Amino acid sequence: MSAPTRLLVLGRQGSGKGTQSCRLAKALGLTHVSTGDLFRREVARGSALGRTVSTYIDKGALVPDDVVIEVVMNQTADLAGWVLDGFPRTVAQGQALVNALGDNGIDLAVELEVPVHQVVRRLSLRRVCDGCGATSVAPTDDDDIRLCNACGGSVARRPDDTVEAIELRLSNYDRMTGPLLIWLDSLGLLVTVDGTGTADEVFDRLHAVIAERLLIGDEIADAPTTG
Ligand code: AMP
């Protein structure tokens, strides 16, 4: 049996890593693990973890490394292969992952590169359904009251998509995730993919890079490129 595939997807907030990680996981038969989604579910449930992380998330700060690392280790412990979306975000998190999995535990880390001005625009127009979690794009920045196309639920701006939180999240990306990217690159694990354009265009680029690096082209090539 071949070893399970383990991929990391990194990128600035608003780079499309959630959408692309989900599509990649489906295409490759892997589990999509998003730390942001997981934390938001815990906040919605009102659990102890949710209460711990909500103060960080709402202002756009990073949840402390020890908390995130424990959550991810528990979530991935029994999974064969996965696409990690939003983890690691710091060198300490990356080192914890490599320590847990061993030197060959991560197959590839892909960074989706989208210029800052484009992600700021995407984040300010992003609206998320309270019910099903589907993401939609508001026609203008002021348009907050819309119904979800998928389920008819109410759609709102994410609490951390305010101007102040966006600024903090983007500066944290440079300050905390920048060194992680350099470290992953030094391990020969990092590839950078242009994240601009349509979701289909970005997925096709990801497909090409991953197929080339991991020699698993057929599995991805058979997957639908829409949705
Ligand atoms: P995301 O949906 O990936 O943008 O994550 C939303 C928020 O969850 C982030 O702004 C952080 O507050 C928190 N978070 C998610 N993943 C991590 C992580 N790996 N390290 C620290 N905080 C995280």
Which pLDDT tens digit goes with each residue over 63-120?
Answer: 999 999 999 999 999 998 999 999 999 999 999 999 999 888 999 999 999 999 999 9
pTM over 0.95: no
Estimate to the nearest angstrom the gap between the alpha carbon of 24 and the chain centroid. Answer: 12
pLDDT for 182: 98
Ligand 1 midpoint to CA 86 (Å): 6
Q: Give the angle subtended at the CA of 18 by the CAs of 17 and 21, to the nearest 5°.
A: 75
pLDDT for 133: 80
User: Which one of the listed residues 6, 12, 40, 169 is annotated catalytic?
Assistant: 169
DSSP character at residue 173? I
User: Which one of the listed residues 59, 126, 146, 213 is annotated catalytic?
Assistant: 126
| Residue of minimum CA distance from atom 11 in ligand 1 | 62
Asked if 213 is an active-site residue, the reply is no
- The chain-wide mean pLDDT, for the chain, equals 90
Tens digit of pLDDT for each residue in 125-172?
A: 888 888 888 888 887 777 666 788 888 888 888 888 888 999 999 999
Neighbours of 90 (CB within 10 A): 21
Q: Which two three-digit tokens encode residue 115?
A: 């210029």
Pocket probe for ligand 1: among 53, 62, 157, 172, the residue whose CB has the most ligand atoms within 8 Å is 62
Ligand 1 midpoint to CA 118 (Å): 20
Ligand 1 midpoint to CA 188 (Å): 25
SS (H, E, C) 104-116: CCCCEEEEEECCH
Quick check: CB of 17 below 6 Å from ligand 1?
A: no
Rounded to a whole number of angstroms, the distance between the first and last alpha carbons of the chain is 31
116: nearest Cα among 220, 13, 1, 3? 13
24: nearest Cα among 226, 220, 193? 220
Quick check: CB of 60 below 6 Å from ligand 1?
A: yes
Q: What is the DSSP string of 57-83?
A: HHHTPPPPHHHHHHHHHHHHTT-SSEE
Quick check: CB of 56 below 6 Å from ligand 1?
A: yes
Separation between Cα atoms, residue 75 and residue 142, nearest integer Å: 37
